[in-house]
Chain A
Amino acid sequence: MTSPAPTLQQDQRLNQIMAVLLRTGVLLAAGLVFVGGIIFLMRHPQPTTNYGVFHGEPEELRTISGIFREARQLHGRGLIQLGLLLLIATPVARVLFSVFAFLYERDWTYLAVTILVWSLLTYSLFFGG
């Protein structure tokens, strides 16, 4: 095992950037969900769906391309789903950031670890279900 031991300073800076990344992702996602929610409630003041019966979401609200299409047309539901998608993508982006951070630190063990975790997440996001 030849990868150098981490220096505290590098890890601290890594932590700082990661914190900003996480906060930005959550705030942006919350903003999208909020705007989408307002549009959704303005168009559907009365609840139209019975959530006690499970019927699954339609195609355009469960695929990434469908969600983008709906959101671009400024549909409330589409915007909410886009915000949720962004929220799900935030931890994925965080792991990807770590991949580069460990590459920068020339820590090969953890480079492999983070790439593996990132691949698993990306797999589930794009090919899951």
Chain B
Amino acid sequence: MGSLFAGFLGSLTGLGGGVVIVPLLTLFFHVDIRYAIGAALVSVIATSSGAAAAYVKEGYSNIRVGMFLEIATTVGALAGAALALHLHVSVIAIIFGLALIYSAIASLREKDEVVHDRGPDRIATLLHMDSTYPTAKGLTAYHVRGVPLGFTMMFGAGVLSGLLGIGSGAVKVLAMDQAMKLPFKVSTTTSNFMIGVTAAASAGIYLSRGYIDPGIAMPVMLGVLGGSLIGARVLAGAKVKRLRLVFSVVIGFLALEMIYKGFAG
């Protein structure tokens, strides 16, 4: 039940399932954070693959950019999952709280479609990254920039994902939107597309380490899938801005609670 609620909440806030599921399971259902992270990773793959199937068809996501950056996120995710083995559970909880606060703030950012095309870039051209995306005026071409910076940020996003079991979509969008100057819609859909691959990289490790429990992952995965289906429909008619604000505040409190518990024991 709680997981259905979490999936619903996640899709409404646009924060993704992981950041809501882990605090919900640990704080309210008193599940060990390692089981919670394992279940969250699984649900992240489910929502990402489900949503990516829809987005990919529309032609927004840039597969080349996504694939190239996935080198960074998968290496990062493997490193993060390895790191999780050596860090104390309370340290992970504190890092999670901080990441939670960041994503709450990031979700409040204005999502304007700013055209910031600054012409072609040498590396991006070499990698055939420039592409087009559908807009009101038909297919519009865009140029990709800042590949090294974006690549580095993606490594960080991968580490966070592997360590905390989240999709770290906020960091991914930031890397593509701000550092690489991709159109916002392209950034979000490509990020969604990448999240599943990143999560799969660490999920394999979590599974073989015994962190993924069928009894917890089952309701979480089904709830998240169902919740995101309903959530997408509700979202179409809701006052998104006010909802986002409310949930961001709630998530901020969850984050503080997790940090507090992390320090307390």
Q: A120-B75, A120-B78 are in contact. Are A84 and B212 (CB under 8 A)?
A: yes
Q: A30-B222, A84-B42, A120-B74 are in contact. Are A19 and B57 (CB under 8 A)?
A: yes
- Contacting residue for B222 out of A37, A54, A77, CB 8 A: A37
A106 close to chain B: CB less than 8 A: no
- Residues in A with CB closer than 8 Å to B219 are 37
Q: Is the CB of A54 within 8 A of B34?
A: yes
Minimum CB distance partner of B203 in chain A: A88
Q: Is the CB of B214 within 8 A of A77?
A: yes
B200 close to chain A: CB less than 8 A: yes
Q: Is the CB of A51 within 8 A of B31?
A: yes
Q: Is the CB of A114 within 8 A of B218?
A: no
Q: A30-B221, A110-B64, A129-B205 are in contact. Are A56 and B211 (CB under 8 A)?
A: yes
B163 close to chain A: CB less than 8 A: no
Q: Is the CB of B50 within 8 A of A22?
A: yes
Give the B interface residue count (CB, 8 A). 60
Q: Is the CB of B49 within 8 A of A57?
A: no
How many pairs of residues, A versus B, come closer than 8 Å at their CB atoms? 194
B22 close to chain A: CB less than 8 A: no
Q: Is the CB of A25 within 8 A of B210?
A: no
Interfacial residues of chain A within 1-58, with CB under 8 A of chain B in the complex: 1, 3, 5-6, 8, 11-12, 14-16, 18-20, 22-23, 25-26, 29-30, 33-34, 36-37, 40, 47, 49, 51-54, 56-58
Q: How far is the CB of B85 from chain A (nearest CB, A)?
A: 9
- Tell me what chain A mostly uses at the interface: helix, strand, loop, or mixed: helix
Q: A80-B217, A87-B46, A121-B204 are in contact. Are A26 and B70 (CB under 8 A)?
A: no
Interfacial residues of chain B within 193-215, with CB under 8 A of chain A in the complex: 196-197, 199-215
Chain A residues with a Cβ under 8 A of chain B: 1, 3, 5-6, 8, 11-12, 14-16, 18-20, 22-23, 25-26, 29-30, 33-34, 36-37, 40, 47, 49, 51-54, 56-58, 61-63, 76-77, 80-81, 83-85, 87-92, 94-95, 98, 107, 109-110, 113-114, 116-117, 120-121, 123-126, 128-129
Chain B residues with a Cβ under 8 A of chain A: 29-32, 34-35, 42, 45-46, 48-50, 52-54, 56-57, 59, 61, 63-64, 67-68, 70-71, 74-75, 78, 81, 126-128, 132, 139, 196-197, 199-219, 221-222, 225
